[in-house]
Amino acid sequence: MKRVWIGIATLAVVGIGVGAWLIFGRASAPAPGSQYEMVESSKGPVLARVTATGTLAATVTVVVGTQVSGRIQELLADFNSPVKKGQVVARIDPQLIQGDLDQKRANLLAAQANLVRARVQSEDSTRQYERAKALLPKKFVADADVDTARANADAAKAAVRSAEATLAQARASMRQAEVNLAYTTIVSPIDGVVISRTVDVGQTVAAAFQAPTLFTIAEDLRKMQVHCNVSEADVGKLKPDMTATFTVDAWPSERFTGTIHEVRFAPQTVQNVVTYDAVIDVDNNELKLKPGMTASVTVVVAERKDVVRIPNAALRFRPPADMQKQVPAEAKADPSPDRRIAWVFRTDKAQPISLRVGITDGTLTEVVEGDLQPGEKLVSDLAGGTPSGAGGNAAPRMRPF
In a domain, 22, yes or no: no
CB 268 within 8 A of CB 276: yes
| Residues 158, 108 share a domain | yes
CB 259 within 8 A of CB 244: yes
Q: Return averaged pLDDT per consecutive 10 residues of the chain, 401 residues in all.
A: 50 53 48 79 94 94 93 94 95 94 95 94 89 80 83 92 95 95 95 93 87 91 94 93 96 95 93 94 94 95 94 91 81 80 89 92 93 93 62 42 35
| Residues 357, 344 share a domain | yes
- Half-sphere exposure (CA, 13 Å, Cβ side) for 116? 6
In a domain, 20, yes or no: no
CA distances from 235 to 168, 266, 279, 321 (A): 58, 12, 12, 38
CB 91 within 8 A of CB 185: yes
Q: What is the dihedral of CA 181, 183, 185, 190, to 10 degrees?
A: 160
Q: Using alpha carbons only, how large is the chain's radius of gyration in Å? A: 45
User: Cα(257)–Cα(288) distance, rounded to whole angstroms?
Assistant: 13
Strands 364-369 and 273-283: unpaired
In a domain, 391, yes or no: no
Rounded to whole angstroms, the maximal C-alpha distance in the chain is 189
In a domain, 261, yes or no: yes
Residue 188 contacts by C-beta under 8 Å, 6 or more apart in sequence? 64, 77, 83, 84, 85, 86, 87, 89, 215, 217
In a domain, 377, yes or no: yes
Q: In this predicted structure, what is the pLDDT of residue 9?
A: 53
Q: Which residues of 154-272 form beta strands (DSSP E)?
A: 185-187, 192-197, 204-205, 213-218, 223-231, 243-248, 251-270
Domain that holds residue 321: 36-44+307-382
Starting at the edge strand that comes first in sequence, how are the strands of the sheet with 88-92 ordered? 185-187, 88-92, 70-75, 204-205
Q: Considering 136, 165, 183, which residue would you say is the last residue of a domain?
A: 183
CB 309 within 8 A of CB 46: yes
Query: What CATH number did the domain enclosing 264 receive?
Result: 2.40.30.170
φ, ψ dihedrals at 353, nearest 5°: -130, 145
Report, in this order, helix, strand and coil percent for the chain, each rounded to 5. Answer: 30, 40, 30
DSSP 246-300: EEETTEEEEEEEEEEEEEEEEEEEETTEEEEEEEEEEE-TT----TT-EEEEEEE
User: Cα(349)–Cα(316) distance, rounded to whole angstroms?
Assistant: 19
| Residues 73, 203 share a domain | yes
| Residues 356, 331 share a domain | yes
Please name which of 318, 315, 313, 311 lies closest in space to residue 391, comparing C-alpha atoms: 318
In a domain, 388, yes or no: no
| Residues 269, 135 share a domain | no
Domains held by the chain: number: 4
Amino acid at 380: S
| Residues 202, 235 share a domain | no
In a domain, 24, yes or no: no
In a domain, 387, yes or no: no
Q: In this predicted structure, what is the pLDDT of residue 385?
A: 56
User: Cα(295)–Cα(397) distance, rounded to whole angstroms?
Assistant: 27
- Half-sphere exposure (CA, 13 Å, Cβ side) for 280? 29
What stretch of H or E contains 12? helix 2-20
User: Cα(8)–Cα(317) distance, rounded to whole angstroms?
Assistant: 56
CB 188 within 8 A of CB 12: no
User: Cα(300)–Cα(398) distance, rounded to whole angstroms?
Assistant: 13
| Residues 243, 206 share a domain | no
| Residues 371, 313 share a domain | yes
User: Cα(301)–Cα(48) distance, rounded to whole angstroms?
Assistant: 6
Kindly tell me the sign of the dihedral angle through the C-alpha atoms of 104, 108, 111, 113.
negative
| Residues 70, 210 share a domain | yes
| Residues 266, 223 share a domain | yes
CB 115 within 8 A of CB 164: yes
DSSP 24-77: IIHHHSPPTTTTEEEEE-EEEEEEEEEEEEEEEEESSEEEEE-SS-EEEEEE--
Q: Map residue 1 onto helix, strand or coil.
A: coil
Q: In this predicted structure, what is the pLDDT of residue 388?
A: 46
| Residues 296, 177 share a domain | no
| Residues 199, 80 share a domain | yes
